[in-house]
Structure 1
Amino acid sequence: MSSIDLSRYEADLAAAEAEVKRLRAENAKLADTYRGDPAEDARELLRRGAASLAAAKGRVEAARVALQIAQKTGSPYGLLARDGHVLGTVAVAIPGGTQSGERTRLIEEALSTELTAAARELGVVLAAPAERYTRERPGRDAEGRTVLDVAGRAEGDVLMPAVSKAAKNTRGS
């Protein structure tokens, strides 16, 4: 395991948690305002505040997972199996202009062993090919590799992809 600077991950987590705390305080003020004057525009502000808070909580969870992966693997890439979910990121060298079938093969080659091990850790088996558990991030990493988010959730005795088909269709493959 190589040594990486965990302080960046810890700072990201602290910033995300601070954002949640700030949004909770703002939402409490909005709720007090709404109780005093239950107008439709105040209700809309409450809805937006709730949506912002939910997104911020998602960022906290993502930062927490990134920190745990960095602690476990010593790199920003890897998978974490916990609480019936597999989460993480992988980097795959996919040359520009690669055909769809070859792209799928490269992802399978890079991910299937680690994903199978994570599923085994949860006591489940894969329900789909490894590529189905991924969503491509925009851009490339410092080494020019394609970065893929990986997500799966245990349902019964199988690990189901937790990446929506709509999210996958928005990537440029």
Structure 2
Amino acid sequence: MSSIDLSQYEADVAAAEAEVTRIREENALVAEEYRGDPSQDAHEVLRRGAASLAAARERLEAARVALKLAQKTGSPHGLLAQGGVVSGSVAVAIPPGTPSAERARIVEEALAAELTGAARELGVVLAAPVERYTRERPGRDAEGRTILDVSGHVEGDVLMPAVSRAARNARRG
């Protein structure tokens, strides 16, 4: 592993943990208010709070994975296969306006070997095309590359995508 500065990754994890804690506390107050006033408006505020907490948990998990990858490989990108789950990210150069078939080929080329290796490490095979295991993050990295979160879980003897179709299509829509 190269000598990478882990302090930024540790700070990202700490900030994400603090954000989850803050949102949980806010949601507890909102839930208490909802018990006193179970109106439709209060329910909507409670629902938005739950969605915010879910998004914060996803950011926390991504920060933890980036830290583990940085410790293991010296890079924030790569895949971790442990406990029946594959998670991580990959940075891919996808030019703007790329047709979906070409995009799928670029993702396949960049990720297939690593994802297949992670599945093999877990003793399973892939259940779907490589692109199905990815979700695009908003924006680009400093080098203009698209960052794709990669996620899968083991079911029986196959690695199933753990990214919903809606989540995958949210940025492309």
| TM-score, length basis structure 2 | 0.82
Change in Cα spacing, 1:66 to 1:31, as seen in structure 2 (3 Å) is: same
Aligned positions, number:
172
User: How far apart, in 1, do the equivalents of 2:168 and 2:26 lie?
Assistant: 34
User: How far apart, in 2, do the equivalents of 1:97 and 1:52 lie?
Assistant: 31
Match of 2:7 in 1: 7
SS at structure 2 position matched to 1:88? strand
Match of 1:160 in 2: 160
Match of 1:87 in 2: 87
1:55 aligns with 2:50: no
SS at structure 1 position matched to 2:75? coil
CA RMSD of aligned residues (A): 2.5
CA offsets, 1:40-78, max 9 Å, x none?
255554444333333322222221112112211211110
Match of 2:67 in 1: 67
User: How far apart, in 1, do the equivalents of 2:99 and 2:34 lie?
Assistant: 54
Equivalence map 1:134-153=2 (5 Å): 134-153=134-153
- Give unmatched runs, 5+ long, in structure 2: none
Matched to 2:126, the amino acid is L
Change in Cα spacing, 1:53 to 1:93, as seen in structure 2 (3 Å) is: closer
Pick which of 75-84 and 134-143 moved more: 134-143
Matched to 1:163, the amino acid is V
| TM-score, length basis structure 1 | 0.82
1:106 aligns with 2:106: yes
User: How far apart, in 1, do the equivalents of 2:62 and 2:4 lie?
Assistant: 18
Equivalence map 1:110-121=2 (5 Å): 110-121=110-121
Task: Quote the offset at 1:9 in angstroms.
Answer: 1.2
Pick which of 77-86 and 52-61 moved more: 52-61
SS at structure 1 position matched to 2:163? coil
Runs (4 or more) in structure 1 with deviation over 6 Å come to none
Matched to 1:90, the amino acid is V
CA offsets, 1:111-144, max 9 Å, x none?
1111011111222111122222122233332223
Task: Quote the offset at 1:156 in angstroms.
Answer: 0.9
User: How far apart, in 2, do the equivalents of 1:88 and 1:171 lie?
Assistant: 19
Change in Cα spacing, 1:149 to 1:47, as seen in structure 2 (3 Å) is: closer
SS at structure 2 position matched to 1:90? strand
User: How far apart, in 2, do the equivalents of 1:46 and 1:171 lie?
Assistant: 25
SS at structure 2 position matched to 1:139? coil
Task: Quote the offset at 1:153 in angstroms.
Answer: 1.4
